[in-house]
């Protein structure tokens, strides 16, 4: 069953937890540039966050929504992106499966690479796990290059440290992809 505004009645509530251990942080990036059945991408992303709990994923910190031109084709609709820190009992592969179920429920169809999408959920980091975990590469191999990921992450956890030693705030400053990314007003 696809999720749409007509069957989504639980608003997202987020516990903002200043005591998150960034060495154990599980970080998920969200993105949308095809509103699908929703009024707009903001509504779709908020509804996706509300769905997290039913998949055993609790949001403990979240960024604001950031807008950026589509990449690599800026003629596509612009993206709305954000980052959340979550708590979950899922292992990394179980979490990826849960995120995939949420994407599917929101009408995500896998097609051409970088095509417009109703919902894009990426596992950015799972604590300090690093490397290829049976096909799942952590941290996300391209996240550090993307301002639309590192900017929102730096907003909520500027001291999060990438395995290369750089902090989220530094990575946001030097990101080469999505340099126009900025908080949406």
Catalytic residue numbers, as ranges: 108, 117, 120, 122
Where are any strands of DSSP class E within 15-158? 26-32, 57-62, 66-68, 79-88, 120-126, 131-133, 136-138
**In terms of DSSP bridges, do strands 182-183 and 66-68 run parallel, antiparallel, or are they unpaired?**
antiparallel
Gap between the Cα atoms of 58 and 108, Å rounded: 22
Q: What is the CA radius of gyration of the chain?
A: 15
Q: How far apart are CA 53 and CA 17, in angstroms?
A: 16
Spatial distance between the Cα atoms of 95 and 9, rounded to a whole number of angstroms: 24
């Amino acid at each position: 069953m696809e999720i749409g505004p007509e069957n989504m009645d639980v608003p997202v509530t987020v516990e903002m937890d200043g005591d998150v251990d960034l060495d154990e942080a599980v970080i998920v990036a969200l993105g949308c540039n095809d509103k699908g059945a929703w009024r707009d991408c903001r509504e779709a992303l908020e509804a996706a966050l509300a769905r997290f709990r039913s998949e055993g994923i609790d949001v403990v910190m979240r960024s604001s929504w950031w807008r950026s031109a589509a990449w690599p084709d800026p003629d596509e609709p612009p993206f709305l992106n954000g980052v959340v820190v979550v708590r979950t009992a899922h292992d990394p592969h179980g979490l990826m499966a849960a995120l995939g179920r949420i994407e599917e429920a929101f009408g995500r169809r896998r097609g051409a690479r970088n095509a417009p999408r109703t919902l894009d959920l990426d596992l950015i980091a799972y604590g300090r796990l690093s490397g290829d975990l049976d096909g799942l590469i952590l941290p996300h191999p391209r996240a550090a290059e993307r301002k639309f990921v590192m900017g929102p992450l730096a907003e909520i956890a500027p001291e999060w440290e990438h395995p290369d030693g750089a902090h989220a705030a530094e990575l946001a400053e030097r990101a080469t992809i999505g340099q126009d990314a900025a908080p949406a007003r």
